[in-house]
Structure 1
Amino acid sequence: MNGRAPLVVVGDVLLDRDIRGVASRLAPDAPAPVVDVTDELSRPGGAGLAAVLAARSGREVVLVTALGEDEASQRVREALEGRVRLVELPLEGSLPVKARVLADGRPLVRIDRGGGEVGAVGAAVRRALAGAQAVLVADYGRGTAEALRPLLAEAARRVPLVWDPHPRGGPPVAGARLVTPNAAEATALCPDEGDSLAAHARRGAALAERWGAAAVAVTLGERGVLLTRPRSAAPMLVPSPYRAVGDPCGAGDCFAAVAAGALADGGLPEEALQSAVAAAAAFVAAGGACDPGLWRTSAPSGFVLPAGEDAFAVAAGVRARGGTVVATGGCFDLLHAGHVGLLDSARRIGDCLIVCVNSDASLRRLKGPGRPLNPLEDRVRVLGALGSVDAVVAFEEDTPEALLGSLRPDVWVKGGDYSPDDLPEARALRAWGGQAVVLPYLDGRSTTRLADRAARAAAGAPPAP
């Protein structure tokens, strides 16, 4: 992959089934809705989903979990093939299957079946944990984390360990770098009156001290996440960048997976949580675990998907819900206030914002020798850190017209003082009913001017008039 040691995900995998349809009448023999099924989706859930989400960054992910010889276990193996490396414990029994029936996108009933006992821990499991760069424990209370508790306690002394707890599971091992209960789980574990931030801060600090954890992040849904530490009176609230509307199923797995990846890369908990909150919001907005693009393995031919959210999957998810896909493009060589204002305004137009960015070669042809000032990897990372940006995709051509033909946004946004009809992309957008719009640009801000000012300052020359 990339030469780094892998991120190891430990926990219980389930097979999730979503039976989706519409309900427009009641059954004649009972006051129950009749669901006319439109489609069904089966996918790995629990630790399996967390592992897939962690692997979207491009890193190597090893999933340590218990699987059996039943049909559900085999379907999970097939779905994970090529995405994560499996290290299995034996499962005596059948893999749990969790089936949701949804009508018009809203869950009506959940049906659970299956289950078994986790078998003995083998040498392959020990080797996987010994070679981890970081560990994420997605504990769903079905025995995998408990079977590996001594090994996890040892790993927590060597590498960052993130523990996503479950009411049915045991406590995290001492020394965890980060524990991520949601508000309901934290309240059940540490009862306290009220739903205020102060009450959640007290719970988080008390749980961090009880568990011997370096930090506890209590996830609060739309309010974001509250980072607390033992005996600390100063929690930090990391708000969600926007109100994400969609199915929240799997949002906690996404949050924990991104946080674990950031800690594996050497980030501080505060940095990890900012990335994780933004990723969880984008995950929900794109359709959550039901996102049809989540299981795609590659971008359409000719385009580059940097580490992060899959731009084509984000667009497909928003379109599937009847939302508006907004895109904009540019070089973004030195991100400045004009860029930020444009991106903020563009995001408010629709339900997601995808940034199409010139590759290094494309930018060099456009701007000349000496450019880019920042390579594509750095430009993408800065753009992706903005709360207004849902995904980034790079193109190698001189213009983004071919990319737009694959992405098919509803609105294409540019900043400047020219007419929308003069935009070279406008004709392409009309082919699928899209609209090009121009937004005002913050006067006097440009990458060229910033670069010139920096060069003059380095040479001791006065700034240009």
Structure 2
Amino acid sequence: MTAPLVVVGDVLLDIDVVGSSSRLCPDAPVPVVEQAEERPRPGGAGLAALLAAAGGREVVLVTALADDDQGRRLRAMLERHMEVVALHLHGGTPCKLRIRSGGQSVARLDAGDGQALDGPVGPRVTGAIAGAGAVLVSDYGRGVSRHRAVRSLLGELPPSVPVVWDPHPRGEPPVPGVRLLTPNQEEAARLAAADGADITGFGLPAAGRRGRHLGRSWGIDGVAITLGAQGALLCDGSQAPFLAPARPARGDSCGAGDSFAAEVVGALADGADLPAAVTEGVDRASEFVRAGAAAAVAAQLADTGTARLTPERREDAWDVVERTRRAGGTVVATGGCFDLLHAGHVSLLRQARRLGDCLIVCVNSDASVRHRKGPSRPITPAADRVRVLEALSDVDAALVFDDDTPAPLLERLRPDLWVKGADHAGAALPEAETIRAHNGEVILLPLLEGRSTTRLLTTTKGNAS
């Protein structure tokens, strides 16, 4: 795409006040957050535009800004990364302040009543929208999507310019010609109810009915309802909706919807069809949450002035460990061949994950398995074993090692807890010394009786003969 990606919508000033808390206030049952550090970032359409620009695209943001201290802070942050074309915001800049400790929000304070009101727009607004290669409307209910001149310009775009509309319950219906609507479940329920649909419940069946209703009612090619950890459900007029499943991702999800929408509109601009674009959007949103979500954007802006929340590679095991330790969490690890994944493995992994804040699985390489088990093993190559393990919601990441024991890998990994099955009780674990040398501990967990890969293979051979 040579023409810029244009983001149209309402910006907010989001501020994270980040500190540590180890005691309660003496005069009220609330935590005392100490050594607090303020980390501001753009929110709303500003965050979506920032994430799109971090992916290397030319971005123009059409928004409304107030001439107050908060508005000037927002403009300064945004103009480092993109062109900002601003209408006047009547009233105070909307601000959301989150007080956070230990990776969790303790409280949120909202202020600012600003609204974008109808009025003339200058040639910069007209030129920005008319010259767009793709448009994301990021509606946060503050009036930019309601502005009659802005709506007229959006409605005049040719069909070749994909428009993605990220709606808000207090916002406006999309203009004709929108390629994709991207509400979350709650927004879809409110929008469908306001449009007269009597659809109760949540989950995939209700989401499908709401998506089809909104698409028909508003004449939209596609409606992608985001479902959090389940991914996104695309209703595009096909007989059955398309589900783009999310990769497991734990953590703060603030801003995940903006990340999804920014990626989807970029993919459509590059020529992707709706299912492919929605799949890319879900993958990027999962990465965004694993990387720390909006809180990490604030931290990166504070450290470097640059947001890098759209990495070209997936977060690997070392990223997971670093992030967990940075948040003061507990790193849990376990290891094995995992040649044929069975119920015993799943039980052990589930128990292990509950002991801490991330679970890293150390997997014997193919050569290591052959050395331990003989020339007929492994049945499944290491790349496939890792792929299956990382598909489990209890596994945050996996690492492959070539040695007979994981001790050299654990020397670098240094988990707080190293988990093995209870069948190792009384046995010498060569890696135990490495774990304890770095103030970790070895924990044995119960096994499911009668489950083992060797028994499965023996049974299979017996049945085959």
Q: TM-score range by the shorter chain?
A: 0.5 to 0.7
Contact map agreement 2:179 2:220 (CA 8 A) in 1? yes
Contact map agreement 2:382 2:400 (CA 8 A) in 1? no
Superposed CA offset, 1:147-184 (max 9, x none): 21111122263410001001110111122111010001
Q: Distance in 1 between matches of 2:263 and 2:256?
A: 11
Q: Secondary structure at the match of 2:43?
A: strand
Aligned to 2:100: 102
Aligned to 1:238: 244
Aligned to 2:225: 218
Does 1:344 pair with 2:380? no
Task: Give the direction of change, closer, same or farther, for the CA distance of 1:188–1:97 in structure 2 (3 Å limit).
Answer: same
* Structure 2: gaps spanning 5 or more residues: 194-198, 332-357, 363-379, 419-430, 432-465
Q: CA RMSD in A?
A: 3.5
Aligned to 2:157: 155
Aligned to 1:126: 126
Instruction: Indicate the larger mover: 35-44 or 204-213.
Output: 35-44
Letter paired with 1:17: I
Contact map agreement 1:15 1:43 (CA 8 A) in 2? yes
Of 260, 271, 274, the match for 2:265 = 260
Task: Give the direction of change, closer, same or farther, for the CA distance of 1:140–1:298 in structure 2 (3 Å limit).
Answer: closer
Letter paired with 1:100: R
- CA-CA distance at 1:67 after TM superposition: 1.5
Q: Distance in 1 between matches of 2:361 and 2:282?
A: 22
Does 1:249 pair with 2:254? yes
Of 189, 207, 223, the match for 1:187 = 189
Q: Distance in 2 between matches of 1:262 and 1:77?
A: 27
Q: Distance in 2 between matches of 1:126 and 1:289?
A: 31
Contact map agreement 1:318 1:325 (CA 8 A) in 2? no
Task: Give the direction of change, closer, same or farther, for the CA distance of 1:298–1:167 in structure 2 (3 Å limit).
Answer: closer
- CA-CA distance at 1:35 after TM superposition: 3.4
Letter paired with 1:163: W
Q: Distance in 2 between matches of 1:173 and 1:165?
A: 11
Q: Distance in 2 between matches of 1:339 and 1:155?
A: 50
Q: Distance in 1 between matches of 2:272 and 2:223?
A: 16
Does 1:281 pair with 2:286? yes
Contact map agreement 1:291 1:313 (CA 8 A) in 2? no
Q: Distance in 2 between matches of 1:180 and 1:87?
A: 24
Task: Give the direction of change, closer, same or farther, for the CA distance of 1:169–1:306 in structure 2 (3 Å limit).
Answer: closer
TM-score norm. by structure 2 comes to 0.67
Q: Secondary structure at the match of 2:260?
A: helix
Instruction: Indicate the larger mover: 58-67 or 84-93.
Output: 84-93
Contact map agreement 2:247 2:391 (CA 8 A) in 1? no
* Structure 1: gaps spanning 5 or more residues: 329-336, 354-410, 438-465
Letter paired with 1:222: A
Task: Give the direction of change, closer, same or farther, for the CA distance of 1:124–1:280 in structure 2 (3 Å limit).
Answer: same
Aligned to 1:394: none
Q: Distance in 1 between matches of 2:40 and 2:312?
A: 25
Q: Distance in 1 between matches of 2:307 and 2:285?
A: 21
- CA-CA distance at 1:316 after TM superposition: 5.3
Larger of the two Rg values belongs to structure: 2
Q: Secondary structure at the match of 1:172?
A: coil
Task: Give the direction of change, closer, same or farther, for the CA distance of 1:26–1:178 in structure 2 (3 Å limit).
Answer: same
Q: How many residue pairs get matched?
A: 357
Q: Secondary structure at the match of 2:95?
A: strand
- CA-CA distance at 1:208 after TM superposition: 0.9
Superposed CA offset, 1:39-81 (max 9, x none): 3211100011001111222111111111122111221122223
Aligned to 1:135: 135
TM-score norm. by structure 1 comes to 0.67
Does 1:271 pair with 2:276? yes
Identity %: 45
